[in-house]
């Protein structure tokens, strides 16, 4: 019984081994057949490509019909009002930006102004020691009293025909001379007090209390709150194009504000260092506006009320000129154009487009002349 079991088990093992070997042979055979078919397909594709190239050389229409369609989107030219602007950086200036200087010598007695302080016209900004002036005034006033007394007595005598006319005239001249002297010194006394010449802001102070100054020595920088304007440098290529009264759009990045104004003055001299000329822009009164603040000027130098425009990036160039791709009957072709000015990523087309064409938009760099295209949204 044991011998029979062993024999049966061995037979099963041999049968399984035989089946496994037959299965492996079938898989190997199919793999070899697949490799053979792949090689045949590759050779066939190569032959097809060669035939297509030969036929395309002999018949260009066949090449166009066999070319695969490219997926694109389209756009159309716009007929609109087109304007071109010159953009430059300007700076807010003040016609009342002055350096206040001393008009007489002396020691700075007091500085009441503080940098950044806004003051009204006539406000005291600083004082210069005027002790010597006060002494001169007191001395002359004493002389004035005597001169007035002498004059009054001489006048009474002269009215009574007593004395000489020369004595009367000398007394009168003496008194009038002293009156003029004291008026002059009073003027100097007023100059010892530095006052604001107009409403404005104290920008900087250049002296300290106790310092001795001379006539003409700068004391402080004072900027008025009115008569502000914008100054900008314009390239000389725009000479004759920009003029007084032209419209200007002014933006203040720090204030996040935009206003409309006009050119108030145009410079007549070209700066040889940067080849520009000055323009001044009228500036109305505004809150928080400070001298030397940066602004962006957009000055319109060209306008066409009815212009054909396209996105600038669609315009390409080859040896024949500039062109865009238009779509006709699902075929892309080059349309050569003459371009005008460009502004804000759009370009005016002077000739070549009427405004009703269909232009290749997305995919315009992949298409070529007479490429078949498939338009998608």
Where is 325: in which H helix or E strand? Answer: strand 321-328
Query: Strands 257-266 and 247-252, how do they pair?
Result: antiparallel
Planar angle of CA 113, 115, 116, nearest 5 degrees: 110
Q: What is the pLDDT of residue 240?
A: 80
Task: Please say whether the beta carbons of 75 and 209 come within 8 A.
Answer: no
What is the rounded CA–CA span in Å between residue 232 and residue 265? 11
- Among the listed residues 75, 85, 80, the one whose alpha carbon sits nearest the alpha carbon of residue 309: 80
* b/e 5-28 (16+ beta carbons within 10 angstroms → b): eeeeeeeeeeeeeeeeeeeeeeee
* b/e 65-79 (16+ beta carbons within 10 angstroms → b): eeeeeeebebeebee
Per-residue pLDDT of 348-358, as tens digits, reads: 999 999 888 99
Per-residue pLDDT of 144-174, as tens digits, reads: 888 888 888 888 887 887 777 788 888 888 8
- Among the listed residues 283, 203, 273, 275, the one whose alpha carbon sits nearest the alpha carbon of residue 249: 283
Residues 6+ apart with CB under 8 A from 300: 83, 84, 85, 86, 246, 247, 248
CATH topology of domain 98-125+196-223: OB fold (Dihydrolipoamide Acetyltransferase, E2P) (2.40.50)
98-125+196-223 matches 87-95+224-304 in CATH topology = no
What is the rounded CA–CA span in Å between residue 140 and residue 129? 19
Half-sphere exposure of 272 (CA within 13 A, CB side): 0
* b/e 191-224 (16+ beta carbons within 10 angstroms → b): bbebebebebbbbebebeeeeebeeeeebbbbbb
Distance, CA of 94 to chain centre? 20
- Please state the domain extents for the chain: 2-60, 67-82+305-375, 87-95+224-304, 98-125+196-223, 130-191
Q: What is the pLDDT of residue 202?
A: 85
What is the full DSSP assignment across 310-324? EEGGG-EEETTEEEE
Per-residue pLDDT of 278-318, as tens digits, reads: 999 988 888 788 888 899 998 888 889 999 999 999 999 99
CATH topology of domain 67-82+305-375: 2.40.420
Q: What is the pLDDT of residue 23?
A: 58
The count of other CB atoms within 10 Å of the CB of residue 49 is 10
**For the structural domain made of 87-95+224-304, what CATH number should be given?**
2.40.30.170
What is the rounded CA–CA span in Å between residue 228 and residue 93? 6
Q: What is the pLDDT of residue 250?
A: 92
Q: What is the pLDDT of residue 2?
A: 46
Task: Extract the residue ranges of the chain whose pLDDT is less than 50.
Answer: 1-4
103: buried, middle or exposed (CB in 10 Å: 19+, 13-18, 0-12)?
A: middle
């Amino acid at each position: 019984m044991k011998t029979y079991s062993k024999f049966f088990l061995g037979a099963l093992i041999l049968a399984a081994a035989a089946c496994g070997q037959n299965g492996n042979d079938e898989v190997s055979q199919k793999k070899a057949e697949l490799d053979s078919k792949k090689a045949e397909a590759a050779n066939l594709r190569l032959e097809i490509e060669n035939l297509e190239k030969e036929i395309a050389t002999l018949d260009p229409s066949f090449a166009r019909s066999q070319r695969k369609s490219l997926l694109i989107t389209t756009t159309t030219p716009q007929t609109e009002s087109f304007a071109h602007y010159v953009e430059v950086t300007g700076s807010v200036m003040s016609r009342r930006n002055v350096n206040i200087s001393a008009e007489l010598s002396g020691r700075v007695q007091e500085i009441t102004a503080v940098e950044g302080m806004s003051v009204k016209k006539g406000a005291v900004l600083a004082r210069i020691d005027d002790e010597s002036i006060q002494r001169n005034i007191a001395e002359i006033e004493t002389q004035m009293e005597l001169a007035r007394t002498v004059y009054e007595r001489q006048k009474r005598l002269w009215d009574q025909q007593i004395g000489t006319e020369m004595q009367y005239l000398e007394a009168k001249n003496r008194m009038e001379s002293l009156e003029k002297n004291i008026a002059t010194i009073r003027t100097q006394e007023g100059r010892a007090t530095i006052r604001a010449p107009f409403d404005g802001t104290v920008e900087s102070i250049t002296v300290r209390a106790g310092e001795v100054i001379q006539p003409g020595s700068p004391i402080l920088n004072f900027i008025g709150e009115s008569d502000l304007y914008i100054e900008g440098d314009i390239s000389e290529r725009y000479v004759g194009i920009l003029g007084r009264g032209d419209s200007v759009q002014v933006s203040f990045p720090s204030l996040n504000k935009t206003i409309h104004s006009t050119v108030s003055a145009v410079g007549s001299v070209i700066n040889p260092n940067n080849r520009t000329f000055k323009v001044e822009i009228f500036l109305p009164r505004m809150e928080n506006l400070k001298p030397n603040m940066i602004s962006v000027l957009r000055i319109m130098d060209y306008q066409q009320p009815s212009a054909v425009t396209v996105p600038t990036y669609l315009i390409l160039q080859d040896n024949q000129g500039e062109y865009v791709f238009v779509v006709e009957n699902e075929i892309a072709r080059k349309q050569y154009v003459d371009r005008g000015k460009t502004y804000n990523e759009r370009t005016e087309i002077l000739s070549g487009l009427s405004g009703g064409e269909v232009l290749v938009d997305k995919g315009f760099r992949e298409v070529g002349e007479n490429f078949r295209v498939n338009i998608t949204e």
